Structure 1
């Protein structure tokens, strides 16, 4: 239930061919291909930005933990002149 077989796909293709005609289908598929390509490019761009952000966060955490030093308190005595 819910699986689309070969006969259903063939029926959908025939209906699309009748509705749009043989001249509009290549144009439609070209537009669909461009849309899918743009979507994938945007998805890859977001993934790359997230990975870079996580890498920067890890590097900042490493730098912060390495540069923190303990400074001993110094006793100061005020002298009056």
Structure 2
């Protein structure tokens, strides 16, 4: 059975076609430069979102808005359900 690469509901053929168009438009010389710029932009976005999360969490803890014990218990329960679901879906995938 052949599994196709899917990324954001785009198949492997579409990704190759888009990459081909990018090479035609920008040229092979500029691809590393473009990829580097995209990588830096994504890293900055990730760092900014992490900073915002930390500030919100810090502010909530200072104002006693977040009960860390309750959130920890909820996260533990979510992890248990997730593990159970993965075990269940794993057994389904093996039986195909």
TM-score, with normalisation over the residues of structure 1?
Answer: 0.67
SS at match of 1:58: coil
Partners of 1:4 and 1:50 lie apart in 2 by 35
Deviation at 1:4, TM superposition (A): 1.3
* Cα RMSD for the two superposed structures: 1.6
Alignment-derived partner of residue 11 in structure 1: 17
Structure 1: stretches of 5+ with no match in the other structure: 60-81
Structure 2: stretches of 5+ with no match in the other structure: 1-7, 66-96
Alignment-derived partner of residue 47 in structure 1: 53
Say which structure, 1 or 2, has more relative contact order (CA 8 Å, 6+ apart).
1
Partners of 1:37 and 1:4 lie apart in 2 by 23
TM-score, with normalisation over the residues of structure 2?
Answer: 0.57
Partners of 2:35 and 2:57 lie apart in 1 by 33
Higher gyration radius (CA): 1
Number of residues of Structure 1 aligned to a counterpart in Structure 2: 58
